[in-house]
Structure 1
Amino acid sequence: MKTLMVFDFDHTVVDDNSDTWVISCLPGQTLPDSVENSYRKGHWTEFMGRVMKYIGDQDISPDRVRSVMETIPFTAGMKDLLAFISEHKSTIDCIVISDSNTLFIDWILQASGLQAAVDQVFSNPAKVNELGYMEVHGYHSHDCDKCPVNMCKRKVLELYLSERSDGGVKYERLFYVGDGGNDLCPSFCLRGHDVVMPRKGFTLEKLLARLEGQKDDASVKAKVIAWSSATEILEELKASM
């Protein structure tokens, strides 16, 4: 029986938003209003596609973007937590489910030397195309009305757990670590002995607090433990082993 660690990425693994961090590669570190004002609620990935095109139009190379992405800070204690997970791969599986994109996440993890901690990354697929431009596409389509159009993290997690179960892997405990509103939906598929860990002061913590005392069908069954440093997550993980 193994433990599964599930991480969001932005403001969870890293202490900022990787999608907005990329803007620091631009002259003046700002987007023109025509791009900045094109965002529509729930359609962030489409917006990021326009940001990536604009970056390419400025003749900023993917290598330059990568060097900027590699400077994003990790959340306090997170590198120690990921190093611990790397050393215990026989008993701990670890995945990232993020509404960022695969290119940024892979670059950041590789630069940290900690990519061995993470078994799989589920995020919006991104690549450098034949013109040398970065491009990004939505992860999947779904029918969940609580989530952004391009990703329902609950569906991603449920499919992963189903496939692992079919392969004979059962998880004794699951830790879900996140911060944002889109981390609430996957929290509903956790069991009573699982743990959802919202970052203190962020949206997920507030949403979970509002659900306390709700009827069974509207409640999160998992134990809720808020964190401000990944050292606290590591302590909970060690205590469960």
Structure 2
Amino acid sequence: MAEIVVVFDFDKTIIDLDNDNWVVDEFGASDMFDQLVPTMTWNTVMDTMMKEIHARGKTMQDIEQVLKRAPVIPGVVPAIKAAHALGCDLKIVSDANLFFVETILEHSGIKDCFSEINTNSSYVDDEGKLRIRPYHDFDHKCNNPCPPNMCKGLIIERMQAASLAMEGNNNKKRMIYLGDGAGDFCPSLMLKEQDFLMPRKDFPMWKLMNENRQLIKEKIHGWIDGEELQHILLRIIKAITTIEEKQILSAVDHSKFQTIYSH
């Protein structure tokens, strides 16, 4: 059922907090972090904080152990596993970084459920420090409230273009997008009428969406917690599948009618 693409944000959509804040807080570096945030972009702040955490004698293994303690939203892991088992193509679009995201997904047993992880790049330098680099160049053009290092709308457009190039006008893929933050508003504007948006209620994306309803073309299904996320996501997948099955059966019946009539 690769006809359904499910795109997840990560922070406060899969895990129940912001993983950058979690790591900084766990290493007792919140004061320095709070001082830096007003002075530079978030992505640059996190790169700077990784240097500081390394200077305090913390290793990559220490960071990994902290990430493994990050709380995943109850109900989300079963939802992801179920959607994957049903044949959906699962992807992540997150303004975190690859090491943080992959570590948590691996620990939660769901990394292999995702065909694609779009997030800020990260690597370990020669001194053993985790370095974090932006996903997009800071001069990307976007009029929506996207951070300078990542426009999720551009990522969704790239996914849509890839599907169109592969399948042409016969492209029937439907997208389900789940998110919570202001940065998730831009990709919601890229979705089509046949797609679905699942914003987390009472979070920034929910507020922006309600203030700009006239710009939203896709169907909207809000959720509060992991249990509701799981219920709504699987219900949407089932509904899409049922429609597709009816269309296939109708096409088969029509083909049979043509064959009989031709005789």
Same fold flag (TM > 0.5): yes
Q: Which residue pairs with 2:250 in the alignment? A: none
Deviation at 1:51, TM superposition (A): 1.0
2:120 is the counterpart of 1:124: yes
Aligned residue identity for 2:41: H
Q: Which residue pairs with 1:177 in the alignment? A: 178
Question: Tell me, what secondary structure is at the counterpart of 1:73?
Answer: coil
Aligned residue identity for 1:115: K
**How many residues are treated as equivalent by the alignment?**
231
Aligned residue identity for 1:61: T
Q: Which residue pairs with 1:21 in the alignment? A: 22
Work out the CA distance in 2 between the residues paired with 1:41 and 1:166: 42
Q: Which residue pairs with 2:64 in the alignment? A: 66
Q: Which has the higher helix share?
A: 2
Return the structure number with greater relative CO, CA threshold 8 A, min gap 6.
1
TM-aligned CA distance change 1:158 to 1:59, over 3 Å = same
Task: Check the 8 A contact 2:51/2:130 in 1, yes or no.
Answer: yes
Work out the CA distance in 1 between the residues paired with 2:55 and 2:160: 41
Identity %: 29
> Aligned-pair RMSD on alpha carbons?
1.7
Alignment TM-score, normalising by the size of structure 1: 0.90
Work out the CA distance in 1 between the residues paired with 2:4 and 2:107: 26
Deviation at 1:94, TM superposition (A): 1.0
Q: Which residue pairs with 1:239 in the alignment? A: 239
Q: Which runs of 5+ in 2 are unaligned?
A: 242-263
TM-aligned CA distance change 1:42 to 1:235, over 3 Å = farther
Q: Which residue pairs with 1:135 in the alignment? A: 131
Aligned residue identity for 2:237: L
Alignment TM-score, normalising by the size of structure 2: 0.83
Question: Tell me, what secondary structure is at the counterpart of 2:208?
Answer: helix
Q: Which runs of 5+ in 1 are unaligned?
A: none
Alignment of 1:1-241 (within 5 A): 2-26=3-27, 29-33=28-32, 35-40=33-38, 43-89=41-87, 92-141=88-137, 142-146=140-144, 147-168=146-167, 170-212=171-213, 214=214, 219-228=215-224, 229=226, 230-231=229-230, 232-241=232-241
Pick the structure with greater CA Rg. 2
Work out the CA distance in 2 between the residues paired with 1:53 and 1:70: 20
Aligned residue identity for 1:3: I
